[in-house]
Structures are given as structure tokens and as C-alpha cells.
Structure 1
């Protein structure tokens, strides 16, 4: 999330813009695409990565990754990725990634995470990210996760009770929106934000009509077991956001507050993997 200039702050106060303008200023930083989908004569896509994707596994392990396109109800063609990490996985994670990354950069992380916690991982690129068409916007974000959800359900036949929704940073926004409408196996909110205005102006106490990403108002409708994860030294989305989201979750489980962690390094702490294993393989099974 990039800082706002003085003139942008004045605009927010003097003539509040529409939510999509706030969203664009606060959140969307799509990188140069680090992958492409190449279709053969049968329409099957192969997933090819650039060096910037930093794939950490062998070429053979890339065979566990399937890429394809689906279309949103707003007309954008978005890229989806299914990473088969385990033949015995009960759960599939529908992962909504953070801001300045795309599926190529996340692919190694997905394979490593899924293998360690015995889950398959399904992910997608937001409109305007990677090889997904369109432009990033708040409305597109909600349409994007809807299309990913439908693709996961229909293409792979996975039922809602075996799906875990995982959102990281800006990815918690579509995750909360979907989780407020569908009951699923579980929800994981990693460095969540309450709303766009509350990130830009920490003293904001209510949701204004022009606010973007009002997750704080949707979280009370999430009826699935919810794990909240946040670094106590988060320099992008203050730790208070995670605390408040946790307090508003009707079915929150024991959260993970990572002492000393910032916004982009929570995964480097051992407690991160330990808590996920406990949640997925013990708490959800029992």
C-alpha cells in the first residue's frame, strides 16, 4: 500500500472520491507479469514462468500446477491456478494473495505451503494482475473471487465444507466478502484490514459512504471457523486491524499474533506453520 500525497489527502477530505478511487490509491500495485499461459491445440494451458518468478522446485514438480482462464460476471478473463500438493488432502485452500505479487511469484510458496499442511491450493490473479484482463478495482475484486469460487466448485467438484478461504493483506477483502455469503470449511485472514479509510486515517471510527473495502462491516456475517493472523509490528496495516477483526468474528478460533513480525515476513516465523498445521489438521478435523 503506497502512501498518500498531501494533495490526495486534501482530495479525500474536501471532495471524497468514489470508493474505487480510494481503492486504487491505497491498494493496487500489480507487478510486471512473471508468467504466461501457453495453450496447445487442445486448449490445454501450460504454465511458463519468467526468471523473476523465482521457481524453487524442479521442472517435474511444475507438472503439479494447472493453469486456466475463467470469466467474471463483469466480463474480465482472469487467470486461475490449481496446485496439487497432496494426494491425500481433504481441504483445498482458495488463496487470495497480497498486493504487489502475481501467481508466478506465489507459485513456489503455494507448493511449499500446501505440501507442509497437506492441502491443495487454488488461486487466481485479480483483474489487471498477471495475465488477467481488466483493471484492478474494488468491484472487480469481488467479481474475481466469485469467478474463482465457481471455477473451483465446478471444474474440480470440491464442496464448500472442504474449502478453506485464505486471504492475505488486500486478499482479505474479497475473502471476507465471499465468506460473508457462503459457509465454508474455514477462513484464514492474514494481516486483514478493517477498511481503506481506517488504513489511511487510523482515527476513523465509522464506515463512511465513500470508504473502500469495508471488511469490518462484513466480518460479523462470517459463520465459518476463522483464524486471524497478524504481525504485532505491521508497518502497513496496523496490528489494531487484526485485533478488531478478530473481536468481530462470530466463530473466531485462537488467533496467531506474531511478536515482532511486520507486514511481509509473518511466514518466516516458525509459529506461522505450526499454527496452520494445528488449525487445519487438528482443530478442523475434530
Structure 2
């Protein structure tokens, strides 16, 4: 039963455009590949590539070069889209954000070989990332990962593996595949794209963008992911925005520009322990120079609210306060150290108790089970799958 459920979830989670919205042709004069059925500006410098993943699939990627760019965006698009539909959006983002940009088609999408699955999308983004490093010489600390909708899954999977990335952008992200359809309170083994469990592990700044009227992936997904971030950046909740049209809002591009500008001023991440001091140094430098952009938008440890609900409920002090109290306790006497050990033991027991209570919640509410019919699952996932086509065509036409 579990295996069939997992296979069904994987099958319904992906809905590539059929037929693909583009074709690949070879320019006889230059021998370079390019895509047809799109109008390309003369001043756009773009490469079309075919990359082989570690799972043996050959995926299609596009790399937009911006001569004045210092940062590179690695963009994982949403469901029911491919490079043909995304071409104009990629081109405009590269131009207006002043970044290089690589977009790619998942296995089974566009003219990429294979069949889409969760693990294949992880291999796909890894192949695109390696191409940036090996072919274009892009360094890890100059890469911003951008994940839209389903693309938030491979984006966060890659982000937890590389700890010196410059930043992450999550556009209408999902908590997990199953949570899009049902408000489950725990993560099941057969669920896909368990973003809710990965986001607390990301050490670089994270920007979350979500529409308030999203009827495919509720805005609560974006808000909960933002709450769980370590390094929060001012989020963008687009009033009236749905799942497919956020690019049409003027605030969308303005906020992204503001984000890129702030990120460019941040020092490159060397390791997690140094990030707090470097953030404070950047804000101090920004204040002295009269530029308060970063001061307004980067949330430091002193002002960052706790992302742990248990900490909020108990009013637990911040990390810095706890460490200071610990030093005072250690300096006071040997007996204080014994009390500290006892306190730690109690906290360990408390954590174990919480963990056991979490494990005890091993079933979904009966009312949720009753809703878990095949027809409802199929209809809802198909609606997710079809969400991007029309809006992307509209955006491309306007571009």
C-alpha cells in the first residue's frame, strides 16, 4: 500500500507540457544550438546546452549571460512549464536584475530525456549547478538559487548540501507535496519534497514570495517556511496575487532588485559561525556610508524572532542570552556547574519527551482519511499541474 501510494504521488506530482513548447535547432553558421518558437532579442547572449545527469538523463539548459553581472541565478521553474514558456521571463530577469541566469528543464520536460521524479529533479539541478562551476567558472558563493512552486523542492535539496551559497529565493513554495492537498501535521515517508524539514538547515539569506490569493498553494506554506528560516529576508506577500501571475506585479521586480542589491553588499559566506559577525559589520558599514538598504531588510540575530514555536510559548531567551547566562553560571562555583549539568539533562529528557509525543502522532485524523479518495487526489494534483501554462503564456506575450 505504501509503495503504491508513493508511486501515485510521484506520478501525479509532475505534469510536463505535451507537446513541448519549443524545439532545438542547430545554427548552421555557428554550429551552436538554439531554441525555436521564441523571439530572441539581438542583444541577448544566451547558450543552449545539453547536460548529462548522474542518473543517465540528458537535460536541456539555457544560460543567459550578463556582461556586468556579479551574481548568477539558478532557476528551477514550476510545474507544467518548460524552457520555451520560461524563455522571456528568464531573459527579462537577467536583464533587469543584472544577473547571469541558468534555467533548465527537468527530466521528461521539454526536450529533456527520461521521466520526471523527485530524485531525478535532484540530479537535474545538480547537473545544472556543476555546469555553472565547470563550464562558466561560477563560484558557489556567487550563486543564488531560485525555486518556483514545485521547483522549491530541488532548490532546497541543493541548498542543504552547499553552505556557501549567496542566497535562496522561494517563489510560491510548497511545504511538501502532500501538504498541498491535505493539512497533515507530520511528515510521512512517502511524501515528496519535504521542504518543511529542510528549510531550517539553510544558512544563507532566504527571500519568500507568495500571493495572498493563491488557490493552488495556500500562502500559509510560504509564511510557515519563512518563519522557519535561519536568515530571514523581508518577505513579499503580494496582495491579490495567485499562483501564476506574480511576475505581472510591479512590486515583484522591485523587491527582487532590492534583494539582489542587498545580497551583493553582503560578504561571501565563509562558514556559518562567521555569518553573524559579518552581517553586523555590513550593517555598520552601510550605516556609516548613509546607505540604509541592508539595515532595513537584513534581519539579524538580535531582532530575528524565534522560529521555534516551543521557544515562543515558553519565552525562551535568545542564543546569546543563554550563552551569557551559561558563562556566568560556570564562573560562579562548582556546584553551579552541577546544576547546569542537571538542567541540561532535564532539557534532554524534555526533548526526548517531545520527540516521543511526535512519534506517537502516527496517524492522520479520520476525517482526513475520509477525504483521501482517488478522484479528489487526482483532481487536485492535476489542478496543480496545470497551474502555470496560461499565466506564463500571458507573461511571455507581454514581455
TM bracket (short chain)? 0.7 to 0.9
Partner of residue 219, structure 2: 239
2:96 pairs with 1:116: yes
Partner of residue 20, structure 2: 33
Distance 1:252 1:44, change over 3 A: farther
Partner of residue 187, structure 2: 207
Instruction: Tell me by how many angstroms 1:283 deviates.
Output: 4.1
SS at the partner of 1:93?
strand
2:224 pairs with 1:224: no
SS at the partner of 2:242?
coil
**Could you tell me whether the CA contact under 8 Å between 1:99 and 1:170 is conserved in 2?**
yes
**How far, CA to CA, are the matches of 2:90 and 2:15 in structure 1?**
21
- Work out which of the residue numbers 50, 57, 61 in structure 2 matches 1:80: 61
- If each structure's helix is expressed as a fraction of its own residues, which one has the higher value? 2
**How far, CA to CA, are the matches of 1:280 and 1:124 in structure 2?**
21
Instruction: Tell me by how many angstroms 1:31 deviates.
Output: 3.7
* Cα offsets for 1:184-234 (capped at 9, x unmatched): 111000000011110111x20100111111111111111111101100110
Distance 1:159 1:242, change over 3 A: same
Q: How does 1:144-163 map to 2 (within 5 A)?
A: 144-163=124-143
Partner of residue 21, structure 1: 8
SS at the partner of 2:215?
coil
**Could you tell me whether the CA contact under 8 Å between 2:16 and 2:110 is conserved in 1?**
no
2:106 pairs with 1:126: yes
Question: TM-score under structure 1 normalisation?
Answer: 0.87
Provide structure 2 residue ranges, at least 5 long, that are not aligned to the other structure.
267-399
**Could you tell me whether the CA contact under 8 Å between 1:23 and 1:196 is conserved in 2?**
no
Count of aligned pairs: 265
Instruction: Tell me by how many angstroms 1:140 deviates.
Output: 0.4
Q: How does 1:3-22 map to 2 (within 5 A)?
A: 17-22=4-9
**How far, CA to CA, are the matches of 1:277 and 1:121 in structure 2?**
14
Distance 1:91 1:131, change over 3 A: same
Question: TM-score under structure 2 normalisation?
Answer: 0.63
**How far, CA to CA, are the matches of 2:3 and 2:186 in structure 1?**
15
**How far, CA to CA, are the matches of 1:18 and 1:146 in structure 2?**
27
Distance 1:43 1:272, change over 3 A: same
Distance 1:157 1:15, change over 3 A: closer
**Could you tell me whether the CA contact under 8 Å between 2:209 and 2:237 is conserved in 1?**
yes
Q: How does 1:89-104 map to 2 (within 5 A)?
A: 89-104=69-84
* Cα offsets for 1:61-114 (capped at 9, x unmatched): 45x111011111100011111012x21101110000111111111111111111
SS at the partner of 2:63?
strand
**How far, CA to CA, are the matches of 1:43 and 1:89 in structure 2?**
25
Q: CA RMSD in A?
A: 1.9
**How far, CA to CA, are the matches of 1:142 and 1:195 in structure 2?**
15
SS at the partner of 1:47?
strand
SS at the partner of 1:276?
helix
Partner of residue 5, structure 1: none
Highest CA radius of gyration, 1 or 2? 2
SS at the partner of 1:70?
strand
Instruction: Tell me by how many angstroms 1:172 deviates.
Output: 0.7
SS at the partner of 1:157?
coil
Instruction: Tell me by how many angstroms 1:15 deviates.
Output: 5.5
Instruction: Tell me by how many angstroms 1:42 deviates.
Output: 10
**Could you tell me whether the CA contact under 8 Å between 1:20 and 1:212 is conserved in 2?**
no
- If each structure's strand is expressed as a fraction of its own residues, which one has the higher value? 1
**Could you tell me whether the CA contact under 8 Å between 1:229 and 1:256 is conserved in 2?**
yes
